[in-house]
Structure 1
Amino acid sequence: MAHRPSKRMKKNLFGGGAVVLLAGLNAPAALSFATEQYHAYEIAQPEYMAKYGSWNDVDIPKEYRTNAIHAALLHTGKVLIIAGSGNKQDHFDAGTFDTVLWNPKDNSFKKVPTPEDFFCGGHAQLPSGNLLVAGGTARYEVLGDAVKRAGGGMRVKNENPVKAVTIKKGTKFRSPSGAEYVSKFDVTVPRAERDFQVSYYATGQMRPGKAKVTAGEARVFVEAVAEGPRSVATGPAQYEIEGLKGDDADNVYGLAEKLTLDKQDFQGVRAAYEFDPKAEKYVPVAPMKEARWYPTLTTLQDGRVLAVSGLDDVGAILAGDNEIYDPKTKQWSKGPFRYFPTYPSLFLTKSGKLFYSGANAGYGPADKGREPGLWDVEKNTFAKIGGLNATDQLETASSLLLPPAQDQRFMLLGGGGVGESDKSTPRTAVVDLKKDSPAFKSGPELPQGTRYLNSVIMPDDSVFTSGGSEDYRGRGASNILKAQFYDPKANAFREAADPTIGRNYHSEALLLPDGRVATFGSDSLFGDKDNTKLGKFEQRMEVYTPPYLYRDKNLRPALRDGPQAAAGDGRATFKSDHPERIVKARLMRPSAVTHTTDVEQRSIELGLTKDRNSVTVTVPKDRALVPPGWYMLFVTDPEGTPSEAKWLRID
């Protein structure tokens, strides 16, 4: 929004002491100063805040400032901010991995020991209230001339059916020509599988069979000992592994298709942990079968979690190897095989199928896995959904399940071209999955082409969107200092107060239990319009207070004593001093967001009955609509003013 001072205000600003200021400034500088002063005055007025809301910086002590790559709201009301190495190679090399807990109630902070580099991993809310965190960084990318040593993926084979073999980090692999390569990680190669082939003589007597042996296999990234092109291997070869003895020397060997000086991408880890909000610590669980960097973790209706996509342990995008985490056993099992680009936006629908909005972030070819559709995980079938425009600009788009979740309407907002493209689109579109033949329909456009838009579902059934940039990672000083509300019923945007901090790549936003919105992070590639100075990670946090919190505080709905869990029939009763003011109830799943991807948040309409002293809400029994876990319960008055949330567990 543009704000210009009135002629009368300009006269007042330029009068008196302002003459002294003008003596030292040229006219445009003076006008700019006056405009800024008036804007600061205007946005602090009660009338302005009641219409547009307001923004405030969070006071963060220096020792707790971090590069917020991931943010998740916990059922304790605290926000888990995960940096890992924070997109800092020096932090990765030093093993300096960061997690900070922020309590919005008293603005207190706490550092949490971080056992792995969770930078660019995935996360999902579990039925217990723990947060599953899986994947992250095993190795930073090496680009262009910085690649000094040939490297690539080595398949390690083990033909011994008796035992697995562990190859330690630093082990040398020797090619037939004598070139040597070093493994960059520990790798355990499973034992071979022996299958006895049974046949019979004509008399029916069993014939002595032969055993078919299928070698065990694991991958590891290797790098040449010597610099330069002499170690480049352009064709497939078998490699001897140094240091093996006896049967291991005979049975274990390496195979590589090629080892080159090409770009070496980020590599993922298999590590998985649950973060316990009560103990405030990471608890290790079984690692994933596949290493993943940039994965999406999506909760299924039974509380299990599907891990999809990511870059593997040699930096290649996974071909479609997905897997499922069971929070009861703490183990992973094989999931349906299907390819998606990294960080695909996959949402649980009322049918139990997963809706893929087409939004994604990061890696994958432009012509594969980009079309939106409905994925039946049980049958592993995928039904494409059409009607969308600007289909070449789905990367770094925002998407969400519009409130209330019962309507099964999904929205896509903005986005850009694949990779470092300078394309961006103001397009929004909505699809109604309740229709027999669902298709996207165009919605109102954003003020300009927008990548990395943060979108947050609000307790009054609106959607708050803010930030983003017009170009890749804010290139060309293209951060967008705008915010707006989307009204699903009116299918229209309305203005909100402008944020003061730009947010693009590696930024997040989420709803707090008090009804405000917190924003974190941003990782601009450059720090100036001409793209000559490197950007700095934005460590400031800003909180938005919506207009509904500037209404009469004495009339704000409130819930008092009540249960922590809904009963078997889905009912929960809470005391209230003024139940007559309450007209709606919403159950809102807490966010877990990174890279413009938040597949957790959803708002469910609840049944509502009242008496003189209390309100009773009824939660739908459909777990595809309401996956098990902890939720925020908000009630609102006729104007949409929400209460502070009560936490309610759904089993």
Structure 2
Amino acid sequence: MPPARAVPLFSPELRRGLGRLLALTLLLTVGLVARPAQAAVTNLVSNPGVEQVGTDGFPTCWEKSGQGDNAFTIGTTADAHSGGKALKIAITALNSGDRKAMMLENGQCAPRVSVGSQYDLSVYYKSTTAANAMTLFRHDTQAGWQYWLDPATLPATTAWAHKTVRTPPIPANTDQITWGVSIYGVGTLITDDYAMYGAVTAPATPKGCTDATGCTKGKWAVMPYQATVRGIHSVVLNNGKVLLVAGSGNDPNAFAAGTFKTAVYDPANGTFTNVATPVDLFCSGHVQLSDGKVLVMGGNKDYPSADGTVGYKGLKNSYIFDPATNKYTRVNDMLAGHWYPSATMLGNGDIISLGGLGEDSTGTTTTDYFSAAQKKWLPMDQTKQTWAWWGLYPSMVLMQDGRLFYTGSHTFGNGLPGTGASIYNYGAGTITDVPGLQNKDERDQSMSVLLPPAQQQRVLTVGGGNGDTGATAGRSTDIIDLKAASPRYQPGPLLPQGTLTGGAPQTGDQGKMYVSLVALPDGTVFETGGGMHNRADPVFEASIFDPTTNTFKSGMATDPVPRTYHSSAFLLPDGRVMAVGDNPGNATFDTRISIYSPPYLFKGARPQIKTVANTNWAYGSTQRITTDSAITRASLIRPAAVTHSSDPNQRFVELPLSIKGTNTIDLNVTSNPNMAPPGWYMLFVHNASGVPSVAKWVKLG
């Protein structure tokens, strides 16, 4: 029997007003929402306490939303933080998707926003599950309403808790946003007393440009020395150095002599440390483990026979490279040989490897599974098999629900049968075609990237050709929203065209393969390198892709060194981009190193991360940092492990801000390890002009 309730001393309307006044007073007094003095003091949320209801009995300016296969209820409850009503969502059974109550997407209810400005959002909540997230949508004046991001995850709590988060700068072409709290697990979520206040106004123009050309195009510098090994595989280590793996370096004579090479390059002083290399790791797979060591799998057992009747053969060998000692240590063999295998980390830190050629030179259909806890490849009876052929270096991107998205990017020849892209559920053993990929048989050494931020779950696939047929590489790009109920690729903007050796411009549909895509700390993607034909015709072109507008900014400075087959580009911890490699059809190899300084490095002083309270971060935690100046955005970027236009683990994870005082910031860490698999990340912050800090290293998980 419920306890007796006291007779109210005030009317419901007066109680609601006093409750809101008290809540606002607490926010301003305790500092839960910190705003500059000039910021707006009007709550931009319509019906923030959900007290006003419409004829359907649901709060006005709010709507029931969500997707997927689940059993749920959405309504109001008298268990309110203030007033007499709160929103209540209960999921009783869940196969997929989520449920949420969102502000209505219309001109009267959705808060108005200004491009480049930031806003503090807050909500009171209770939940029986940790599967909750604040969810934002934005209205693009050209493309309409679309998902923006989940800026914070909310832990379970039986008592009322308060969450505040600052949005990133409002993207271009955005005039309104809506938001709410979603629940994506079985349980109950109650929310009340929403608030949204203007926090930071965007600067009218970027300030402090030190170089007009640099500010618009960026600049390349070719180092006055060359690499001591062929940079076929590149891994950025958590000490800021770069692991360059060549093995035999695509040189049959080196293979015959047993000359296998690896070096550790230090960008800070231009030095190289040679590393003893046990076998031919040429065209192996590699991925960084959660402890910062590098798992290297497979490689080259033998080159093709002289008569061409037998092709490359894959190794079963596997090693762990330790950056602390610069040594390889052998672990147990894989189940099958893999030459050109994939390597994708799962949310639990385990590794799945697929594809490549086996010990007998035929396609490997065996799935190999590495247990992070046991530090070994699992035996056959513990590894789930589909016996599917995934091709060579299949790009397998981890999705937020733990499944793998095969993007269609691969190496050599045609795409896979069917649509050329698919979703692979390792646990269920299912493979589902994903439609929409253009020219699926001409995506050889295209590249795919999980667009910033990872929370949006959008993948961009760029360029590609067909090394077997010699087809001219194309300009096609494709974008997919993996959060959609039925994901499918949509055509993206055409890849900008460049010039060929000698200055001849590309024409028509001429694009490039061997392309590199690098997620930058300002949330854009740098596109560089490539060639128009198989191991021939380097293309000199670079651009920056903006995920908020789905457009390429063409005309970036171009790498003066050709970058075709066996080339890579990747982000350094200081915010610059390093490019290595070029192995044209005449069997030469370019060992020059190029470094690109993006435009943001010419736009004034860089903010600095002064302190990081803790460098070991737990999922769902709040981490405090201090900076030397105001910042508008923070992110975690996973360090590169790239080869052959393939780095499926590359990701930029948004760290929504809670401002706690002058240059004291709390960062909200995702609670979903599938969004950011465990390991070392580069922590960047940037200011209102988009200028990033030098990264600090933090360990997640």
**Normalised TM-score (structure 1):** 0.71
What residue number does 2:583 align with? Answer: 523
Tell me, yes or no, if the aligned pair for 2:318 and 2:330 is still in contact at 8 Å: yes
Of 461, 473, 485, the residue aligned with 2:523 is 461
Amino acid at match of 1:268: G
Q: Is the 8 A contact 1:557 1:637 kept in 2?
A: no
Cα 1:330–1:370 change in 2 (3 A) is farther
Query: Which position in structure 2 is the counterpart of 1:105?
Result: 268
Which of 331, 342, 345 is residue 296 of structure 1 equivalent to?
Answer: 342
Please list every run of 5 or more consecutive structure 1 residues that lacks an aligned counterpart in the other structure: 1-44, 148-261, 526-533
- Specify the code of the residue in structure 2 equivalent to 1:612: T
Shift in alpha-carbon separation, 1:370–1:509, aligned structure 2, 3 A = farther
Identical positions, percent:
35
The equivalent position to 2:594 in structure 1, one of 538, 542, 551, is 542
Would you say 1:563 and 2:614 are equivalent positions?
A: yes
Distance 1:427 1:283, change over 3 A: same
Q: Is the CA contact 2:516–2:569 (under 8 Å) kept in the aligned structure 1?
A: yes
Q: Report 1:40-439 matches (<5 A).
A: 46-60=211-225, 64-142=227-305, 146-147=306-307, 263-318=309-364, 320-333=365-378, 334-337=383-386, 338-362=388-412, 368=417, 371-417=420-466, 419-439=468-488
Shift of 1:551: 1.6
On the 8 A contact 2:412/2:466 being kept in 1, the answer is no
Q: Secondary structure at the match of 2:255?
A: helix
In structure 1, the residue corresponding to 2:575 is in which secondary structure?
coil
Q: Distance in 2 between matches of 1:383 and 1:568?
A: 30
Indicate the structure (1 or 2) with the bigger Cα radius of gyration: 1
Measured after TM superposition, the shift of residue 136 of structure 1 is: 0.6
Deviations 1:1-60 (A, max 9, x none): xxxxxxxxxxxxxxxxxxxxxxxxxxxxxxxxxxxxxxxxxxxx9211121100001233
> Which stretch shifts more, 606-615 or 493-502?
606-615
Q: Report the TM-score when normalising by structure 2.
A: 0.66
CA distance in 2, matches of 1:561, 1:607: 16
The secondary structure found in structure 2 opposite 1:560 is: strand
Q: CA deviation at 1:458?
A: 0.5
1:490 aligned onto 2:571: no
Determine the C-alpha separation between the residues in 2 that align with 1:74 and 1:329.
22
Shift in alpha-carbon separation, 1:487–1:442, aligned structure 2, 3 A? same
Name the amino acid aligned to 2:355: S
CA–CA separation in structure 2 for the residues paired with 1:354 and 1:455:
20
Asked whether the equivalents of residues 392 and 418 of structure 1 are also in contact (C-alpha less than 8 Å), the reply is: no
Q: Does 1:636 align with 2:682?
A: no
Using a 3 Å threshold, how does the CA distance of structure 1 residues 306 and 488 change in structure 2: closer, same or farther? same
Q: What amino acid sits opposite 2:679 in the alignment?
A: G
- Asked whether the 8 Å contact 1:577–1:614 carries over to 2, the reply is no
Q: CA deviation at 1:487?
A: 0.7
- Tell me if the contact between 2:619 and 2:672 (Cα under 8 Å) persists in the aligned partners: no
The alignment covers a number of residue pairs equal to 473
Distance 1:466 1:444 in 2: 16
Q: Which amino acid letter does the alignment assign opposite residue 481 of structure 1?
A: F
Q: Which residue of 1 aligns with 2:628?
A: 577
Conservation of the 8 A alpha-carbon contact between 1:343 and 1:362:
no
2:670 is matched with which residue? 620
What CA deviation, in whole Å up to 9, does each residue of 1:368-426 have, x standing for no partner?
37610211111111221112221221211111100000100011100112524223110
Does the aligned pair in 1 maintain the 2:540–2:562 contact within 8 Å?
A: yes
> Partners in 1 of 2:452 and 2:416 — Cα distance?
32
Q: CA deviation at 1:481?
A: 1.0
- Report the CA distance between 1:636 and its aligned residue: 1.0
Segment drifting more, 373-382 vs 612-621: 612-621
Say whether the 8 Å CA contact 2:610–2:626 is kept in structure 1.
yes
* Cα distance in structure 1, aligned partners of 2:416 and 2:649: 27
Structure 2 residue aligned with 1:34: none
Q: Distance in 1 between matches of 2:698 and 2:290?
A: 12
The SS at the match of 2:538 is coil
**Distance in structure 2 (CA, Å) of the matches to 1:339 and 1:133:** 21
- Work out whether residues 415 and 443 of structure 2, in 8 Å CA contact, stay in contact via their aligned partners in 1: no
Q: How does 1:18-37 map to 2 (within 5 A)?
A: none
Aligned AA for 2:256? D
Unaligned runs of 5+ in 2: 1-209, 498-509
> Which residue in the other structure is 1:480 paired with?
539
Instruction: Work out the CA distance in 1 between the residues paired with 2:662 and 2:276.
Output: 49
Q: After TM superposition, give the deviation of residue 573 of structure 1 in Å.
A: 1.7
Q: Distance in 2 between matches of 1:454 and 1:569?
A: 32
C-alpha change, 1:366 and 1:403, in structure 2 (3 Å) is: closer
Name the one with the larger strand percent: 2
Distance 1:499 1:287, change over 3 A: same
The equivalent of 1:552 in structure 2 is: 604
| Secondary structure of residue in 1 paired with 2:665 | strand
Distance 2:610 2:493 in 1: 36
The CA deviation at 1:123 is 0.4
Give 1 or 2: higher helix fraction: 1
Query: 1-side partners of 2:541 and 2:527: how far apart?
Result: 9
Measure how far apart 1:263 and its partner are.
1.5
CA distance in 1, matches of 2:401, 2:482: 10
